[in-house]
Amino acid sequence: MDLNDLRRKRKAAAEAMHAAATAFDALEGDTATTPEALAAAQTEFDTAKAAFETAKASVERAEEAESALALSATSEIDTPPAGGGNLQPGQVANADAKGADTGLMVAALANAGGNRDQAVDQLEAAGHTQIAATLTGATSGAGGVLIPRPQSEVLIQLLKPKVVVRKLGAVSHDMPAGKLRKGRTASAPTAGYIGENAPIVESEPTFDNVDQDFKTLTALVPIGNALLSHSSVSIGMMVRDLLLDYMALREDLAFIRGDGSGNTPKGLLNWCLAGHKQTGIANTVAAVELALRKMVSTLDDANVPMLNPGWIMRGATKHFLASLRDPNSGAKIYPSIDASNTLHGFPIETTSQVPNNLAPGTATEITFADFSEIMIGDDQEIRVASSTEASFVDTNGDTISAFQRDLTLMRAVSRHDLAPVHDEAIAVTTGIGWGL
C-alpha cells in the first residue's frame, strides 16, 4: 500500500469519524434517546476515532520514510573521484543533471527486464550506490515499479518548462486522495449605496464545484539496447529527456484540446465557454487584430483577475503574426513578438500539438487564458514498466517491433487532471490561414 493509498484510507476514516460524531450529537439532542442508544453511539464514535488515529499514524510513518529517502538520495548522481578510480557516490555536478538519477533508475530497470532487485544490483555494480539504495525502497508490482516520490516530483517539476500550460503558470497541486473538489463562486455578491437608516439589501453569492479526478497518462519510450548497456550519467540524462519529451507532448495535447472522454483530461478548448469562442476568422490584418483584441477584452469584461495571462499557439502562427504588416506604412503590426515574445503585452508559448489543418483545412487555434485560474492536479508519482517484445505505433502511424529493432520499450505512467477555477478565464479563436 503506497502513500496515496494510506492517505485515502485516512480520509475515509476521517469521514467515518465525522459521521459517527454527527449521529452522536443528534442522539444527544433528542429527548427520546435511551441510555443504551447513547452508549452504542459513543462506542461507534470511539471505534471510528481509533481507526482514524491508526490511519493517521500510518501516513505519518510513510511520510517520514519518504522524507528520509529525499534527504539521503534526492537527485544525487555519481561522479568519478579526482584522480580516477572507481565510481563513488557524489553530488550533482550541475543543474543540467537534475533528474538524471531517475533516468539511471529507468535504464537499469529496462536492462533488468523490470526486475527491481536485479536493477539495484546493476546500479551497485556500476558504483551508483545511493541511486541503488533509493530504488531499493521503490514499490514493485504487476503494474511495474513506482519511482520513489522524491524522484518523481523532480521529474514532474522538470515537465514544467516543456508543457506549455504548466510553463505559462497553471497552478499545480497534489491530489493525495485521488480527487479534488474545489468550491468556486458561480455568481458574486452585490454591493450598493443606500439612504440613511434604510435597510441593507440582502445579497447572496451562489456556489458550485470544480471536480478533478485522476486521469492516467501513459507514454511509451523506445530506448536502444546498445545505449542501455552503459550506466553513465549521460545515459541517465538521455533517458530522463526521453521520458520528459514523450510525456510533455501528450500532456500538451490533453491539456489544450482534450475532450474529457475515454478517461482523458478535459482541455482548455473544451472548458472554454461558447461565448468565448471565435471561429472562421480570416487572416487579414483587420480581422486578426479585431479577433485578438476581442479575446483579451472578453476575459477583462468577465472580471477575470488577469494575474498570469498568456497565449498558446503553433510556432507557425506566431511567425505569421510576427510578419503581419500595416498595408499602408509597411510597419510590423506586432513588433513585440520578435522583441520580447509577447502579444498585446502577454507572453506566448508555442507547441506542435495545436493543429493547423482544422476545417476548412488551413485553420488553426490560438488560446488565451489567465493561467492563475487553471488548476493541474498531480498524483506526484510515476510508475515505469519495460518490454523488449512489445510493439508500438510511431508518429507516422507505422507499427514498430521493439524486438526487431533491438529496442526496449519503457512505459511511463502518471496521473493528473486539469480544470479551470472559472470557465470564463479562457478564450479560443480559430483562424483560417493563420499558420501558413
Q: Say what the pLDDT of residue 385 is.
A: 72
Residue 373 banded pLDDT, cuts 50, 70, 90: very high
> Ranked by mean pLDDT, which of 125-139, 262-276, 300-314, 375-389 comes out on top?
300-314
For residues 304 and 370, the answer to whether their CB atoms sit within 8 Å is yes
- Spatial distance between the Cα atoms of 352 and 384, rounded to a whole number of angstroms: 26
Q: Say what the pLDDT of residue 142 is.
A: 54
Chain Cα centroid distance, residue 53? 31
Please state whether 98 falls in left (phi above 0), alpha (psi between -120 and 50) or beta: beta
Q: Say what the pLDDT of residue 199 is.
A: 67
**Domain boundaries, given as residue ranges, for the chain:** 3-73, 268-375+417-432
Q: Which residue has the higher pLDDT, 190 or 73?
A: 190
Surface-to-core class of residue 274, CB atoms within 10 Å of its CB (0-12 exposed, 13-18 middle, 19+ buried):
exposed
Q: Say what the pLDDT of residue 181 is.
A: 45
Chain Cα centroid distance, residue 220? 18
Average pLDDT, the chain: 78
Residue 369 banded pLDDT, cuts 50, 70, 90: very high
Residue 213 banded pLDDT, cuts 50, 70, 90: low
Residue type, 293: R
Taking residue 14's Cβ as centre, other Cβ atoms within 10 Å add up to 16
- pLDDT (average), residues 230-254: 76
Q: Which residue has the higher pLDDT, 394 or 320?
A: 320
Q: Which residue has the higher pLDDT, 248 or 2?
A: 248
Q: Which residue has the higher pLDDT, 203 or 248?
A: 248
- pLDDT (average), residues 367-389: 81
For residues 92 and 151, the answer to whether their CB atoms sit within 8 Å is no
Q: Say what the pLDDT of residue 125 is.
A: 81
User: Does residue 396 carry a pLDDT above 90?
Assistant: no
Residue type, 182: K
Residues near 6 by beta carbon (within 8 Å), at least 6 away in sequence:
55, 58, 59, 62
- Spatial distance between the Cα atoms of 373 and 172, rounded to a whole number of angstroms: 11
User: Does residue 435 carry a pLDDT above 70?
Assistant: yes
Q: Say what the pLDDT of residue 241 is.
A: 80
Q: Say what the pLDDT of residue 321 is.
A: 97
Give pLDDT tens digits for 64-99.
776 665 455 444 444 444 444 443 333 333 445 677
Give pLDDT tens digits for 16-68.
998 889 888 888 888 888 888 888 989 999 999 999 999 889 888 877 776 66
Q: Say what the pLDDT of residue 364 is.
A: 96
Say whether the peptide bond before residue 305 is cis (omega within 30 degrees of 0).
no
User: Does residue 431 carry a pLDDT above 90?
Assistant: yes
Q: Say what the pLDDT of residue 211 is.
A: 55
User: Does residue 254 carry a pLDDT above 90?
Assistant: no
User: Does residue 420 carry a pLDDT above 50?
Assistant: yes
% of the chain residues with pLDDT over 70: 72
pTM: predicted TM-score of the whole model, two decimal places: 0.63
% of the chain residues with pLDDT over 90: 31
Give pLDDT tens digits for 323-366.
999 999 999 999 999 999 999 999 999 998 899 999 999 999 99
User: Does residue 4 carry a pLDDT above 70?
Assistant: no
- pLDDT (average), residues 151-158: 77
For residues 385 and 143, the answer to whether their CB atoms sit within 8 Å is yes
Residue written as grid cell 499602408? 328
Q: 3-class DSSP state for residue 405?
A: coil
243-252, 344-353, 417-426: the lowest-pLDDT one: 243-252
155-164, 170-179, 264-273, 293-302: the lowest-pLDDT one: 170-179
Chain Cα centroid distance, residue 167? 11
For residues 337 and 292, the answer to whether their CB atoms sit within 8 Å is no
Q: Say what the pLDDT of residue 95 is.
A: 45
Instruction: Indicate the angle between helix axes 3-28 and 35-73, nearest 10 degrees.
Output: 160
User: Does residue 370 carry a pLDDT above 90?
Assistant: yes
Please report which residue ranges of 263-394 form alpha helices under DSSP H. 268-271, 285-301, 315-323, 336-340
Q: Are strands 407-420 and 215-224 parallel, antiparallel or unpaired?
A: antiparallel
CA angle centred on 229, ends 226 and 235, rounded to 5° = 90
User: Does residue 428 carry a pLDDT above 90?
Assistant: yes
> Domain 268-375+417-432 is classified in which CATH homologous superfamily?
hypothetical protein PF0899 domain (3.30.2320.10)
For residues 155 and 384, the answer to whether their CB atoms sit within 8 Å is no
> Ranked by mean pLDDT, which of 76-80, 184-188, 229-233, 363-367 comes out on top?
363-367
Q: Say what the pLDDT of residue 403 is.
A: 72
- pLDDT (average), residues 276-303: 96
